[in-house]
Homo-oligomer: A and B are copies of this chain.
Amino acid sequence: MIVLAVDFGGSHISCAVVRDSEILFTEHLPVSSCGTLGAILPSIAKALRSATAKANLSLSQCEGVAVGFCGLVNPYLQTILATNGKYEDARDIDLASWAHDEFTLPLRLENDARMALLGERYAGAAQGFDDVVMFTLGTGIGGAAMINGRLLRGRHFQAGCLGGHFLARTGGRECTCGSIGCVESEASSWILPQLCREHPAYSSSPLAELKQVGFRELLQHEANGDRCAREVLEGCIQVWAGGIVSLIHAYDPEVVVVGGGVMNACDRILPTITDYIRKRAWTPWGQVLVRPATLGNAAGLIGAVPLLQESPNE
């Protein structure tokens, strides 16, 4: 199966032509912070045509267009429901008509985290499993859930996607979602500078001299023996591990796939998370597998194939 795939990421939009589990060609478009979806659609169409041509294929060989969007979508009506501040015009745009007019192809639209889960199941860390939780440690914390081989969507298409907004600390920090004490507001990239500043050893830590502290810097200084970095990181790992236990208790998976940019330090992070889950998750049936994502940023693009193979009303 050959398909066109579009993945709306935080810093760029990836436009690819995908055959089965292989990305034949990708073009990347930068994300402009004040851009509208309507303004960027012609560039996306051009990039998809270009990727198809570079792969020596014609549009008539493609079976559909799959779009992974960073927000809430209705995958049955192919509409965008909520955009978290980006692409404010997105709710008024008829992507299915766009795909038909541009390519004479059917379109499927899904949340980007659900697309990544589909990709990891099709060709990555969750191959062979029908019950999967995806947990993505990026700028924010995202995720998706699959039960019995079907993506969990829920009445308003929010189910499974809000694992970053499960409670981690009653009465805790304000989150961007409106809640308090979420996994994301207790331990993600955007709260990390504050976590460091509030640590008692911060003023004597080399972290205090940095302009910007991300998990990359935190991990470097932790490896160098800095106490502030070590304790902040360990605190974050506890939040993530506890959050994953909530996801296991919520969705009853066989395997949890952990992805996102922070997992570049997989070897430092995943063993502690796995130990916590072994000890703490209540799974009388046996042990949940905990695996690093293997497809990285390609997961959402590869998820285009299984999404287009899915029955539209599944």
Contact = CB atoms under 8 A, between A and B. Distances in A.
Contacts of A254: 155
Interface of A: 72, 81-82, 130-131, 147-148, 152-160, 162-163, 165-171, 177-181, 186, 235, 238-239, 242-243, 245-246, 249-254, 279-285
21 contacts: A81-B285, A130-B155, A131-B155, A147-B154, A147-B155, A158-B282, A159-B251, A163-B249, A165-B249, A165-B282, A166-B250, A167-B245, A169-B169, A170-B186, A170-B239, A177-B282, A178-B279, A179-B245, A246-B246, A250-B250, A250-B251
A251 B170 contact: no
A250 B246 CA distance: 10
A191 to B, nearest CB: 13
Nearest to A288: B156
Given A186-B170, A279-B178, A282-B162, A155 B245 contact: no
Nearest to A241: B170
A292 to B, nearest CB: 21
Contacts of A131: 154-155
Q: How many copies does the complex hold?
A: 2
A173 to B, nearest CB: 12
A300 to B, nearest CB: 21
Contact of A158 (B167, B170, B239, B249): B249
Contacts of A157: 252
B162 A249 contact: yes
Contacts of A163: 249
Given A170-B168, A282-B177, A252 B82 contact: no
Nearest to A154: B252
Nearest to A162: B249
A181 B276 CA distance: 13
Which of A82, A148, A165 has the most C-beta atoms of chain B within 10 angstroms of its own C-beta?
A: A165
A115 B163 CA distance: 26
Contact of A284 (B81, B169, B238, B252): B81
Contacts of A167: 166-168, 242-243, 245-246
A235 B281 CA distance: 25
Given A167-B168, A179-B281, A155 B253 contact: yes
Nearest to A83: B284
Nearest to A249: B162
Nearest to A282: B177
Q: Which of A157, A177, A235, A250 has the most CB of B within 10 A?
A: A250
B249 A284 contact: no
A165 B283 CA distance: 12
A131 B158 CA distance: 12
